[in-house]
Amino acid sequence: MKTQPIGSSALLSTRLAYGCMRLPTGKDRDSRSEAAAAVMSAFEAGFTLFDHADIYGHGGCEQVFGDILKETSSIRREAYLIATKCGIRFADDPPGAPHRYDFSKKHIIWSCEQSLKRLSVETIDIYQLHRPDLLMNPDEVAEAFSSLKQAGKVRFFGVSNFSPSFTACLQSSLDEPLVVNQVEIHPGRLDCFYDGTLDQCIAREMTPLSWSPLGGGWLGSGGKVPDLHPRRDCLIEIQQTLDQLSRRYEVTRTVLALAWLLKHPSGIIPIIGSCNPDHIRESAAATEVKMGREDWYSILNSARGAPLP
């Protein structure tokens, strides 16, 4: 699979990442076998960047991934990158507390140390703040990042679901650049193309990581638009455009939808979240598609649901 740099860092990643949010976390043999099959299929397809968060499976997804890699001696630690996130706290943690976000220095450092234990690694390659904490003190976050960096626990830092202004606010207190912003990007969610997020990524050499690049499945091969979706007609038109073009490119709809993201000059890395080994392998073909500008705009026009001005 083709590779690209991660932001302005020294990290090199494949053009697709594998998302571990849906890994089965059960302790029974079937769950562990399904999780191992998904992770190993991603490695076999060439993926080198693996996306996590401390809340996925309440820590279980990091744990099962760490267990799988501990049991797989043939895969060296330097052969893959781990990205994980912190900052979301569920209700009743501690008892009586509301669901909230927490970028306090204490919580960031504690969360990182717990992720390191579950993942069974000494260093996280990219550590991200998951969703904007409106009580964020940028200087306090900078202290937490500096402590983790100096301790060798994190190599680089990033954010997730941050607006351009929130990103700039945090960056103003940091000594080194943020290298990623993980946001929802796909033909059914065009916000990042118009709100300055992708412009900022280009200007600051940050890599956009696209979560849910297939819109939760409806953009993928065989995916269906929910009957009651408020934009159902527009989403069906997007599917029809993708289907028409995928026949010309001789690829699946999944592959073409991912290739549309890969075409953007910001260097979007779609995060593939399927646990189906066939779907994981299918997605890797997107890095070989050379999409023309005219076809890219045909998909955009369908996604807008209105002509360009």
Residue type, 221: S
CA distance 180 to 164: 12
**Start-to-end Cα distance in the chain:** 37
Q: Is it the case that residue 108 has pLDDT exceeding 90?
A: yes
* Whether the Cβ atoms of residue 81 and residue 11 lie closer than 8 Å to each other: yes
Catalytic: which of 56, 80, 127, 194?
56
Q: Residue 186 in contact with residue 258, Cβ under 8 Å?
A: no
Count Cβ atoms below 10 Å from residue 202 Cβ, excluding itself.
Answer: 13
Please state, rounded to an integer, the average pLDDT across all residues of the chain: 97
Tell me the pLDDT tens digit for each residue of 22-75: 999 999 999 999 999 999 999 999 999 999 999 999 999 999 999 999 999 889
pLDDT digits (tens, 9 = 90+) for 123-179: 999 999 999 999 999 999 999 999 999 999 999 999 999 999 999 999 999 999 999
Say which residues have a Cβ less than 8 Å from residue 293's Cβ, sequence separation at least 6: none
Give me the pLDDT at residue 67, please: 97
How far, in Å, are 23, 120, 127, 144 from residue 123 at the CA level? Answer: 22, 9, 10, 15
Is 56 noted as a catalytic residue in this protein?
A: yes
Residue type, 87: G
pLDDT for 73 equals 84
Pairing mode, if any, of strands 180-184 and 207-211?
parallel
**What are the CA-CA distances from residue 18 to residues 15, 23, 45, 110, 281 (Å)?**
10, 11, 10, 25, 11
In whole angstroms, what is the distance from residue 229 CA to residue 237 CA? Answer: 13
Nearest to 180 by CA among 6, 2, 29, 303: 6
Domains of the chain: 3-211+267-273 (3.20.20.100)
Please state the φ and ψ torsions of residue 56, each to the nearest 5 degrees: -65, 115
Name the CA dihedral angle for 74, 115, 135, 209, rounded to a multiple of 10 degrees. Answer: 20
Residues 222-232: tens digit of each pLDDT? 999 999 899 99
